[in-house]
Amino acid sequence: MKTSLIKTVSKIALVLIPTITLSMAATAHDPKMHAKKAVKADCSKMDHSKMDMKDPVVIAMMKKCKKQAKAPHAKMDHSKMGKMGKKMDHNKTKDIDDKSNKKESHDHH
Amino acid sequence: MKIFKLLLLLIALALGTTATVMYSGIVNVAADEPHSDFVYWLLEETRNNSIKKAAQHIEVPNLEDAELLLMGGADYEFMCSSCHLKPGQSESDMSLGLYPAPPNLAVSNDEHKGHEHGDENQADRNNFWVIKHGIKASGMPAWGKTHDDQRIWAMVAFIKRLPTLSPEQYQILTAVE
Ligand SMILES: [Cu+2]
């Protein structure tokens, strides 16, 4: 009885352990480059004939290009930063948090 | 009594196996060695069900909005495209080097198989949750620590349209001066 039980258990182990740890295969990779810069929207390529003016994508493109045409080369258009401006908020918040944390710990000394 | 003994033995075996696997160093954690099919399936199921459950009560706002697309587009290009690619690009250092590999979000869901996406609303919900909270032990960061919900919804709106965008449209939507 005991031996058959041990046999069963070791059979289970023999099947389980290799299944979990083995059967791995590698694939070959060929990495490529990517670059990141501030770029102007290339509005010359918009194909107006094919555009559905109700499509949010089209509306968004029109907005972007209009805005860009109005403010050529100004590095940042602060008047319109509304939502864009939020991008920087979290950095600021972190700084402020860090500072206030430090201050607090000093006050307690 | 026999059953009890058997159970005890199985528990001991399970613990023993776990300890052996843990301490022997036999598990290969290299990102350039894919999981076995079984382990992959295990992790994938766990992940999908976890996301589905966590996201099920999230309310999806109207995502058909130009401002959202612009906000999300700029963020996507800056923060996500290195891993999740963009129209006209099929691979990057990150998309090839990371494991689990970041799905190519510039192609439609049908083209990147391997897990379920549910209906459209559920897909938006899942995406929101994943972007906000990230995925443990993968390259996917939790962006909710540094970005508010509106900006995350903007990215959800953007990636919803992303598979339909041409490289030119993508360029216009994401360009930041
Ligand atoms: Cu997917």
Q: What CATH number does residue B163 fall under? A: 1.10.760.10
pLDDT band at B112 (very low <50, low <70, confident <90, very high): low
B13/A9 Cβ within 8 A: yes
Q: How far away is chain B from the Cα of A109, in angstroms, using its nearest Cα?
A: 31
Ligand 1 centroid to residue B114 C-alpha, Å: 8
Q: Which domain holds residue B123?
A: 39-174
Q: Is the pLDDT of residue A5 over 90?
A: no
Return the percentage of chain A with pLDDT > 70, whole number: 39
Chain B residue numbers touching A87 (CB-CB < 8 A): 74-75
Q: Residues with beta carbon < 5 A to ion ligand 1?
A: B 103
Nearest to B97 among A31, A77, A87 (CB): A31
pTM, two decimals, is: 0.73
- What per-residue confidence (pLDDT) applies to A86? 46
User: Which are the contacts of A82, defined by CB distance < 8 A and separation ≥ 6?
Assistant: none
Across B152-166, average pLDDT: 96
Question: Does residue B20 lie in a domain region?
Answer: no
Distance CA B141, CA B128 (A): 13
Do the domain assignments include residue B107? yes
Q: Where does B78-166 have alpha helices with state H?
A: 81-84, 93-97, 120-133, 149-161
Give pLDDT tens digits for B19-62.
999 999 988 899 999 999 999 999 999 999 999 999 999 999 99
Residue B164 lies in a domain: yes
**First-to-final CA distance of chain B:** 76
Question: Tens digit of pLDDT for each residue in A63-95?
Answer: 998 888 876 554 555 555 554 444 444 444 444
Residue at B53 is within a domain: yes
Residue B160 in any domain: the answer is: yes
Interface contact flag, B175 A31, Cβ < 8 Å: no
Q: How far apart are CA B166 and CA B161, in angstroms?
A: 11
The pLDDT score that the predictor gives to residue A40 is 84
Whole-number Cα distances in Å, A92 to A95, B126, B146: 5, 29, 11
Q: Which residues of A touch B39 (CB under 8 A)?
A: 20
Rounded Cα distance, B89 and B108, in Å: 14
**Residue of B98, B85, B76 lying closest to B147 (CA atoms):** B76
**Does the distance separating the beta carbons of B17 and A34 come in below 8 Å?**
no
Identify the band that residue A53 occupies on the pLDDT scale cut at 50, 70 and 90.
confident
Residue B112 touches chain A, beta carbons under 8 Å: no
Q: Number of structural domains, chain B?
A: 1
